[in-house]
Amino acid sequence: MASSIRSNCRKIVAIGRNYADHIKELNNAAPKQPFFFLKPPSSILLPGQGPILRPSGVSLHYEVELGLVMGKGLRNLDPQDEETALSSIGGYLVSIDMTARNVQDEAKKKGLPWSIAKGFDTFLPVSSYIPKAKIPNPHKADLWLSLNDQLRQNDSTELMIFRIPRILSDISRVMSLEPGDIVLTGTPKGVGEVKTGDKLKAGIRVDGKDINEGAIDVT
């Protein structure tokens, strides 16, 4: 099942700046509407297939995110149509949106695309596929990430600035979503740098309990 996450995926659309405290920590402006970027399917790192590759000269940062795996296609979704939005989700995964922060900062300064900073092979470690029923409300779960067993990110998905129906609407009005596509919903505060050999763990809790399928454990 895990390998089908990668083989079924034709695009990964990632929302930027979707948790207020994370926007502050990077000194970014809060967006008036969701903005997003693409990561290539070739960046997916399946469970057990680590380590994360560290390109030389790169300052590598982690960003834990809730991923939506599309079960149905979506195009031009009405932002009010919460029912269609939620029913288009096939399942979930936990992911780490690895970012070459220095490359991204340079790109921002020059007005260049983010694709290189976000797109290296192994830059999207994912958990196993989480069946939809395990997360009854995707706006009510706790995402966490630890670095060398120290908790660094730990926040509720209810802190999302733009909620899932709005995100899916905005994306689908630009680019059609197809079954198997992955949508990353943004990262809470606490992002930081990873050094060679650092151990990353991440997961998601519902009602205070970790979901087995949502575990990431990667170096």
Binding region for a copy of itself (CB under 8 A) out of 89-97, 119-127, 143-151, 208-216: 119-127
Based on CB atoms, which residue is closest to Mg ion, 83 or 157?
157
Residues 148-207, interacting with Mg ion (CB under 5 A): 187
State yes or no: residue 63 binds Mg ion (CB under 5 A): yes
State yes or no: residue 11 binds Mg ion (CB under 5 A): yes
Q: How many residues bind a copy of itself (CB under 8 A)?
A: 35
State yes or no: residue 125 binds a copy of itself (CB under 8 A): no
Q: How many residues bind Mg ion (CB under 5 A)?
A: 6
- Closest contact distance (angstroms) between CB of 65 and Mg ion is 6
Binding region for a copy of itself (CB under 8 A) out of 6-14, 91-99, 143-151, 201-209: 6-14
State yes or no: residue 35 binds a copy of itself (CB under 8 A): yes
Binding region for Mg ion (CB under 5 A) out of 90-98, 131-139, 161-169, 205-213: 90-98
Residue 34 CB neighbours (<10 A): 21
- The pairing of strands 12-16 and 182-184 is parallel
**Residues contributing to the site for a copy of itself (CB under 8 A):** 9-11, 13, 16, 29, 35-43, 55, 75, 107-116, 119-121, 174-178
